[in-house]
Structure 1
Amino acid sequence: MSGQKFGVAGVTALVIGHFSGMLDLIALPVWVGALVERYGFTPQQAGGLATLFLVGAVCASALVAPRFDRMNQRLAATFGFGVAAAAFLFASTQADFMPLALCHLIAGLSIGVALSMVHGTMGHADNPHRLFAMAGIALGLLAIILLGAIPQLLIIYGGPSLFRVFAGIMTVATISSALLFRNPLKAVEHQRRPFSRATWLTIFGISIMTFNQSMVFSFVEVIGKTRGFSPDHVLAVLVALGFVNFILPSPLAAVLQTRVSATLITQIGPAVQAVLAVIVTSATVFTVWAPAAAVFVSIQIFTHTFAFGRLAKLDPTGRAVAATPAMLMVGAALGPIVGGALGQNLGYSALGVAAVVVGIISIGFFTKAKSA
């Protein structure tokens, strides 16, 4: 299947849908922080609310991805983002745990549906790799804006402003999906067959890599302060990380698309990630720790762009890439729990050891996918 051109309008809807649906990837630290500081929840309760959102997204994506090519993608995306906007708007009027828990679950479920439609449609583009890279650049830009603006809004307007911002972003995604989204052309029926072994192995490889990323990244700030680095220096590294994610991985992935083998990148990516994880969790010298922490997340973004392009080729129906939210968010949901348990009981350097083991497993899946 040669792929489809969606035009400027269609691409705009997909890019907006991507950065709106991937909100958790960039906003999770300020999200959980606001629930603790502004709403008075314990870290466990705040983490539980975020996990409810992520679990909802994973379940919805896993449910709709196999049915992607039989759905009206534009309608499902518009409905999904619209329900999420309403859920976040309602959340901004609540302060108790149970109503907020319900809002988080509903928002997660509806975003899981919408984002699966976005990613599945991206898989039908004439160049899925480049389109995913472009969406990654937009997500990086949004991260810089949100991480700068949300803390200020929380100071001025309090906790509900967080959910109003989220509702506003989902509203923009709803409108752009309704007006600009273009459904992919229907795949030929004989192409709708069970996923190949290579497809499944690639899905497992990227899911495990995402788990590794989440396990270590969730504790970057805590690790920095535990090592005795000043809070200002640690904050500067997080700001630098935002700029690195915007400038480096997605543009580089777009440039290198035809110059480097996707299978080679998926084998090297987890290894580089594991090395950086060891440095981030073990280094006691700031000048060694800071560069590793600043580029850590970008390795995941860079590698996943190549994995996305490969999955789009392996499964032309778009069902495999439609499961992208499930692949990403299952790791995002499990990583912090495992990382917290290891850090609390064995010390944060144990995260580096775990990252090496998990990285080897991820490389194993990607290597098997290459030969499958």
Structure 2
Amino acid sequence: MNDIQRWPARSALMVAHCAGMVDLVALPVWVGTLMSRYGLDAQQAGALATLFLAGAVLASAWLAPRFHGLNGRWIAPAAFGTAALAFFACSQVSQFGALAALHLAGGLANGVGLSVTHGTVARTGNPQRLFGIMQTMLGVFGVIFMAATPQLIGALGGPALFGVFGGVMLVASLVTGLFFPDVAAAGGQQAVSRKAAKLPASVWFGIWGISVMAIVQGMVFSFMERMGADRGFSVSQLNGLLIAVGLFNLLPGVIAALFQARINARVVVLCGATAQGVLAMLLASSTAFEPYAAAGAVFVAVMVFTHIFAFGQFAALDPSGRAAAATPAMTMIGAAVGPILGGTLVKLSGYPALGMAALVLDVLAFALFMRLALRPAASYAESPVR
């Protein structure tokens, strides 16, 4: 049995995924803490989060084309260790300039660690199944994070947030340092011979399609709670909805991992773009709680489910792992651009504008996915890297 088939190696990939995608779990608490505990206004707090995300996007965009020539076995622990230092340093300062520089540094390091993680997953024997399991673990991590972190911040103050972030990154650095798999060694000469293959043109359409869907998610989901509050829904109703979002987010990874060979990936990505647009319209226009809550509970899960199947196709069409290594750039560009775009639309035209913009963008995503070539899920078994 080679390295990647062992559960310690796969567990290291899961831990790295949870640490690298911490923004998707923590963004509301992150921005809220910067405003309530550090006295920053909404623009400043949003700018710090955007700097972190922009750093991750830049790192991923730079690293992805070069992934096939890199050794993630030592890059991942070094990257997450650097991110841990940046966050621990954040817990010791309060000036906006210092926080900004550290957020950017942490984002760059985090983006490097997450990119080599996703690129490595793409070069395993069944990348879609493993990525689905990793997404499920991210959902579990999110539930734990949301249950514990606000309590720590309440007891210890704002710096506790960055202490938690630093601790998460430190654990990822230690675990990846011990168990991160050496996929190049596992794949042997066959894996090396695939490195120089040109990235298929159809993959780029899939990459841009996921990026557009990520922008829609960031644009709409950032304002979901505010939409409900401004329409008079109670705090208990909104808290219940947020809990429902977390629970539904546990399902896509399990379903995708179990039924990857039975569900057509083209149907998933096309239906995902369509469903996201419809749900965004419901969220942005519903004045009654029931349709608003039903759309909000599954809104993120639709994106997660679609991304898992798209990831599987990227891995199958590009065995070098370069396309999958760009996953952080695909998803985090939405987290960075979406809130700014959404805030501008709300300021100019109100919440219904979010739904209309989402519909337009999802039509674009649908058209892009039409150009994504498919490879049957069963063909994963042919991969020489197990």
Same fold judged by TM-score > 0.5?
Answer: yes
For residue 162 of structure 1, what is the aligned residue in structure 2? 161
Aligned to 1:144: 143
Structure 1 match to 2:296? 293
Q: Which amino acid aligns with 1:343?
A: V
* Aligned with residue 227 of structure 1, among 231, 235, 239: 231
Query: Which of 230, 237, 242 pairs up with 2:241?
Result: 237
Amino acid at match of 2:6: G
Q: For residues 230-283 of structure 1, give each alpha carbon's deviation from its aligned partner in whole angstroms, at most 9, with x where no partner exists.
A: 12211210111111112x211111122010111221111010011111111110
- Provide the C-alpha distance between the structure 2 equivalents of 1:24 and 1:240, rounded to a whole number of angstroms: 19
| Aligned match for 2:222, one of 208, 218, 222 | 218
Q: CA deviation at 1:371?
A: 8.2
**Structure 1, 291-300 or 232-241: larger mean CA deviation:** 232-241
Report the secondary structure of 1:39's partner residue: coil
Secondary structure in structure 2 of the residue aligned to 1:152: helix
* Pairwise CA distance, 1:5: 3.9
Aligned counterparts of 1:5 and 1:369: Cα–Cα separation in 2: 28
Which stretches in structure 1 are left out of the alignment for 5+ residues?
none
Query: Quick one: structure 1 residues 137 and 241, their matched pair in 2 at CA, closer, same or farther if it must change by over 3 Å?
Result: same
Structure 2 CA distance, aligned partners of 1:110 and 1:228?
41
Secondary structure of 1:370's match?
Answer: coil
Contact 2:342 2:354 in 1 (8 A): yes
- Residue type at the aligned position of 2:85: A
How many angstroms apart in 2 are the aligned matches of 1:90 and 1:240? 34
Is residue 65 from structure 1 mapped to residue 68 from structure 2 by the alignment?
no
User: How many Å separate the matches in 1 of 2:294 and 2:244?
Assistant: 9
How many residues end up aligned between the 2 structures?
369
Q: Distance in 1 between matches of 2:372 and 2:361?
A: 17
Of 340, 345, 355 in structure 2, the residue corresponding to residue 342 of structure 1 is 345
TM-score, scaled relative to structure 2: 0.93
Instruction: Give the equivalent residue in structure 2 for 1:256.
Output: 259
Deviation (angstroms), 1:342: 0.5
Contact 1:116–1:324 (8 Å) recurs in 2: yes
> 1:190 Cα shift?
4.9
Percent identity over the alignment? 46
CA contact (8 A) 1:4 1:124 kept: no
Matches within 5 A, 1:37-76: 37-76=36-75
Alignment pair present for 1:103 and 2:102 = yes
Contact 1:270–1:362 (Cα < 8 Å) also in 2: yes
Q: Which residue of 2 aligns with 1:135?
A: 134
What residue in structure 1 maps to residue 205 of structure 2? 201
Calculate the TM-score normalised by the size of structure 1. Answer: 0.97
- State which of 315, 324, 327 in structure 1 corresponds to 2:327: 324
Contact 2:241–2:293 at 8 Å: present in 1 too? Answer: yes
Deviations 1:74-119 (A, max 9, x none): 1110110000000000100111101111110010000000001100
Instruction: Give the whole-Å Cα distance in 1 for the aligned partners of 2:139 and 2:40.
Output: 29
Aligned AA (2:23): D
- Map Cα deviations across residues 117-150 of structure 1 (whole Å, 9 max, x no partner): 1000000111100100110011000111111111
CA contact (8 A) 2:209 2:365 kept: yes
Give the 3-state SS of the residue equivalent to 1:266 in structure 2: helix
| CA displacement, residues 196-246 of structure 1 (integer Å, 9 cap, x when unaligned) | 111111101111111111110000010011111112211210111111112
Q: Distance in 2 between matches of 1:139 and 1:191?
A: 30
1:6, 1:182 within 8 Å by CA — same for their partners in 2? no
Q: What amino acid is aligned across from residue 65 of structure 1 in structure 2?
A: A
- The one-letter amino acid paired with 1:66 is P
Shift of 1:36: 0.2
CA separation in 2, counterparts of 1:315 and 1:328?
19
Unaligned runs of 5+ in 2: 376-386
Which residue of 2 is the match for residue 114 of structure 1? 113
**Retained in 2: the 8 A contact 1:90–1:103?**
yes
The 3 A distance-change label for structure 1 pair 139 and 371 is closer
Q: Is the 8 A contact 2:212 2:361 kept in 1?
A: yes
2:86 equivalent to 1:82? no
Cα RMSD (Å): 1.4
Distance in 1 (alpha carbons) for counterparts of 2:329 and 2:68: 17
1:126 aligns with 2:125: yes
